[in-house]
Amino acid sequence: MNISSMTKHVAAIALAGAAGTLLSGCGGGSEPNASTAQALQLASASKVAALTAGVNSGQVYTLINPNSGKALDVAASGSADGSNVAIWSPNGSGAQQWRVNANSNGSYSLINVPSGKALDVASAGTADGSNVQIWTANGTGAQQWQINPAANGAYTLTNVNSGKALDVAAAGTADGSNVAIWSANGTVAQLWQLQPFGASNAWRLVWSDEFNGSAIDLSKWSFEVNGNGGGNNELQYYTARPENARTENGHLVIEARKENYTGPDGSRQYTSARLRTLNKGDWLYGRMEARIKLPRGQGIWPAFWMLPTDNKYGNWAASGEIDILEAVNLNASNNTIYGSIHFGGSWPNNAHTTVAYVPPSNVADNYHTYAVEWEPTQIRWYVDNVLYSTQTSWWSAGGAFPAPFDQRFHVLLNLAVGGAWPGNPDGSTVFSQKMEVDYVRVYQK
């Protein structure tokens, strides 16, 4: 969500539309610690699907089959889609490192660390003996696994799509014995021990708002109240009224309304809200995520984003901006969301990189989890744990790389009406429109 002229940004974004489309720049990552997710579940059972005790989301593991003593291994350390998965003597190589990422339905994805590819049932097979391989992460059931405790500290891994278990073919014990799926039978060929590479690989919850209270928590959020257009010629007046922002049924609701409103900055025909964690929640690096259902319509512009707290490198965009999620003009034929960074010099000498992505299900009808993983020299964007963009190149006129993204940032949530990017609402736009936020969470290592 930009805070100055959008002219160059709009011109580039107009070229987008396909999933993962790079607009001036695009490619693994990790997920939050399961123990903290379980604590959140106890606080709000409707928010988080049950996760498996002892399995830390975001942790890197070696999976050992206790029958053979061999590790789950990508053959020949392959990184291409379709590379085969077998068992091999443990050797500490990347071919045997699997990052276990929690999904919102209580299942897990297993991501091979060096390749960034997911453990996958070939062709989404459901028959006994369907082969297991690695494939680009896509969030399908062929890549989702239930991890269930079994005997002696081991686990079974059951593929969500087929209901079949991860199995060493013919209970093999030799290097290269193939791995497939097979009907669950309780044999040792279907048991796996998860041996962690080190807890430092896991994201750990440091801040969250589940929006379970009767009002917005002002120890975590403050309202920006103004009618100055956000630097983008937006049409709304941002207020602190419950009509525009409130908690409701365990969610934050930001509501854009068509109404005449007059404040110190004059009169406007639309109202909405913009909240931020400035000086209440400020972080250097981390995983920032929110589960959101987006509004739709011409001229409607929701955003989940971050700005620098201290502006140590100068005015926008020399001190940076991280847009975790933006969408404009969502409708039946437009399901595109965007992730961006803004950097460079102070406006008008600013630069940006934006990537467009089209989630497989409608973002205005369904909740989706939007996240960035921000590390010193890399920022990654996810939707529902599917990685769609990785950025490693940026600069600031005010300092050496990795400036400007080496200072504290804070989180913002807002719903704009009109502006240089979406254009104005028209006769097709239905009001009011609501941006509904299930939670916001921040993790750090």
- Neighbouring C-beta atoms of residue 392, cutoff 10 Å: 13
Q: Name the percent of the chain lying above pLDDT 70.
A: 87
In DSSP terms, which residues pair with 410 in a beta bridge?
A: 282, 307
Q: Give start-end residues of each CATH 2.60.120.200 domain in the chain.
A: 7-29+204-444
Compute how many other C-beta atoms are within 10 angstroms of the C-beta atom of residue 160: 18
Locate 251 and state its tokens. 């969610």
Q: What are phi and psi of 12, to 5 degrees?
A: -75, -40
Q: What is the dihedral of CA 338, 343, 347, 352, to 10 degrees?
A: -40
Q: What pLDDT does 37 receive? A: 38
N-term to C-term CA, the chain: 27
Burial class from Cβ neighbours inside 10 Å (0-12, 13-18, 19+) for residue 285 reads middle
Cα distances (angstroms) measured from residue 330 to each of 187, 216, 368 = 50, 27, 15
Q: Which residues of 254-283 are buried (b: 16+ CB within 10 A; e: fewer)?
A: bbbbbeebeeeeeebebbbbbbbbbeebbb
Residues classed as catalytic? 321, 326
Please say if the pLDDT value at position 24 is more than 70.
no
- Whether 211 has a pLDDT exceeding 70, the answer reads yes
Q: Would you say 55 and 194 are in contact if contact means Cβ atoms under 8 Å apart?
A: yes
The encoded tokens of residue 320 equal 């940076």
Mean pLDDT of 69-77: 93
Give the pLDDT of residue 299. 98
What integer pLDDT is reported at residue 198 of this predicted model?
54
Confidence at 55, pLDDT banded by 50, 70, 90: confident
Q: For the segment 418-441, what is each residue's pLDDT rounded down to a tens digit?
A: 999 999 999 999 999 999 999 999
Residue 93 pLDDT > 50: yes
| DSSP code of residue 8 | H
pLDDT digit string (tens) for 334-349? 999 999 999 999 999 9
By the 8 A CB rule, do 64 and 79 touch? no
Contact 331, 297 (CB under 8 A): yes
What confidence tier does 104 reach under pLDDT thresholds 50, 70, 90?
A: confident
Answer with the residue of higher pLDDT: 53 or 88: 88
Q: How far is CA 236 from CA 119, 411, 422, 432, in A?
A: 46, 20, 13, 13
Find the mean pLDDT for residues 89-116. Answer: 91
Flag the least confident range among 6-15, 62-71, 222-231.
6-15
Report the distance separating Cα 133 and Cα 52, nearest Å: 24
Length reported for the chain: 445
- Residue with more model confidence, 196 or 298: 298
Helix (H) or strand (E) holding 42: helix 34-43
Q: Is residue 12 predicted with pLDDT exceeding 90?
A: no
Contacts of 249 (CB under 8 A, 6+ apart): none
pTM: 0.66
The token duo for 367 is: 């909740």
Q: Which regions of the chain carry the CATH code 2.80.10.50?
A: 50-201
pLDDT of 376-434, one tens digit each? 999 999 898 788 898 999 999 999 999 999 999 999 999 999 999 999 999 999 999 99
- Within 8 A by CB and 6+ apart from 293, the residues are 363, 364, 365, 366, 367, 368, 435, 436, 438
State the pLDDT confidence band at 31, using cuts at 50, 70 and 90: very low
Write the burial class of residue 42 (CB in 10 Å: 0-12 exposed, 13-18 middle, 19+ buried): exposed
Mean pLDDT of 260-267: 97
DSSP 122: G
For the segment 144-192, what is each residue's pLDDT rounded down to a tens digit?
999 999 977 789 999 999 999 999 999 999 999 999 999 999 999 999 9
Mean pLDDT of 207-213: 95
Task: Find out whether 334 and 349 touch, Cβ atoms under 8 Å.
Answer: no
Q: Please tell me whether residue 3 adopts helix, strand or coil conformation.
A: coil
pLDDT at position 270 over 80: yes
Q: Give the integer Cα–Cα distance in Å for 45 and 41.
A: 5
Strand 85-88 with 98-102, pairing: unpaired
User: Which pLDDT belongs to residue 66?
Assistant: 85
- Determine whether domain 7-29+204-444 maps to CATH 2.60.120.200: yes
Distances (CA, A) of 425 to 129, 278, 298, 419: 55, 30, 5, 10
Average pLDDT for the chain = 88
The CATH T-level fold of domain 50-201 is Trefoil (Acidic Fibroblast Growth Factor, subunit A) (2.80.10)
